[in-house]
Amino acid sequence: MYLERLKNLKAYKTETTPCKVKLSSNESPFDLSEKLKERIKEEIVKINFQRYPDPHAKELKEALAKFVSEEENLEVSPENLVLGNGSDEIIHLLITVIGDLKNPVMYPVPSFPMYQVSSDVVGRPKAEFLLDDNFQLTEEGIQEALKQNPDIAFFASPNNPTGNSFDSKLIMKVIEKGIFTVIDEAYIHFSDKENFLKVALEYDNVVVLRTMSKVGLASIRLGYMIAKKDVAREIDKGRLPFNITYPTQVIGKIVLTEGKEELKSQIKAVKEERKRVMEEISKIPSVTVYPSDANFFLMKTPDGNKTHQELIKRGVLTRNMSHLPKMENCIRVSIGRKEENDEFIKAMREIFT
């Protein structure tokens, strides 16, 4: 009886088949340099392991605020930030604390699965609407969802698993309706399009989510929300104390200060490789490659399930998206290091000749 509600939940699935080349989770293909690891080693042993970490992660927040300010040429301070154990945790927090739990969570489909998972966990209704055939938002879809009276809306832009960015004018329409709007910018570092940071710093009902997971630090689970100070302060009350571990605070701070240039050059390398891999795969006549502003891209093959299996046989793990609406025969491929991408390209050529 106590477990009744859980019976209807599906466990979050990730791709775990062991493969030589892993292009399935949109991680950065680059580990930290030995130099940075040495610095981490030096600092990590100074931790008082019996103590709780700083509940406000003050030093990490300062480093992060400076990092974002420089990156965006804009004034972001520690008070604008809420930190999470990955941005997943912040998604869950927002779904838990924003508006009335009886009112739905609005988001397009297909998109990042956690909006649905967290809504289901807290038993909150969902106002889902379909993207069009180019994976873009539609005016009609948004209007349909708005009719259900949502209190909160999520837009992952660039979107996962499709890779494209959403039409910001349509997002602005939702914002102007006064709906609490979350722009999930997990992949913004790989995009040349405009982001919503300025809007978030100006509007009471807009926040931006970002994460270190896709730029080389998936292991430490560090996500962050950027919002106006009053908004950040209120939402921070719902956060669990000590959610950012001591090691995460130490490592995050080092990487965000001393590792800045390293991160930047890795992001640049991923963008260059994305261009090359997508061009090569586009040359295969039976494969469709969709545009991407992220560190992955989506492709459609005549038989997605089969292609996914054939790639595994050749030691390349990708993410099969065929089970999702609008995603029949679609496979999501993360951008790897040059030699990994070469293996993927080679495998694809083999499969399709």
Ligand X SMILES: *Cc1c(COP(=O)(O)O)cnc(C)c1O
Q: Which two tokens stand for residue 139?
A: 């005016």
Binder of ligand X out of 142, 186, 277, 321 (CB under 6 A): 186
Least spacing, CB of residue 159 vs ligand X, in Å: 7
Q: Which of residues 220-259 bind ligand X (CB under 6 A)?
A: 223
Measured from the CB atom, is 335 or 348 closer to ligand X? 335
For the CA atoms of 336, 338, 343, 349, the dihedral, rounded to the nearest 10 degrees, stands at 100
Measured from the CB atom, is 86 or 104 closer to ligand X? 86
Measured from the CB atom, is 104 or 161 closer to ligand X? 161
What is the per-residue binding string for ligand X in 71-110, x denoting contact by CB under 6 A? ---------------xxx----------------------
- Residue 120 is a binding residue for ligand X (CB under 6 A): no
CA-to-CA dists, residue 276 to 121, 137, 316, angstroms? 40, 28, 18
Binder of ligand X out of 119, 191, 211, 248 (CB under 6 A): 211
CA-to-CA dists, residue 243 to 52, 55, 56, 89, 134, angstroms? 10, 8, 9, 9, 38
CA dihedral sign of residues 345, 17, 332, 88 = negative
Nearest to ligand X by Cβ — which residue? 86
Binder of ligand X out of 83, 156, 179, 335 (CB under 6 A): 156
Q: Map residue 126 onto helix, strand or coil.
A: strand
Least spacing, CB of residue 302 vs ligand X, in Å: 27
Instruction: Check residue 334 and give left, alpha or beta (phi > 0: left; psi -120 to 50: alpha).
Output: beta
SS3 of 59-71: HHHHHHHHHHHHH
Measured from the CB atom, is 53 or 223 closer to ligand X? 223
- Residue 112 is a binding residue for ligand X (CB under 6 A): yes
Helices 338-351 and 304-313 sit at what angle, rounded to 10 degrees? 120
Q: Where do contacts with ligand X occur on this chain (CB under 6 A)?
A: 86-88, 112, 156, 160, 184, 186, 211, 213, 223
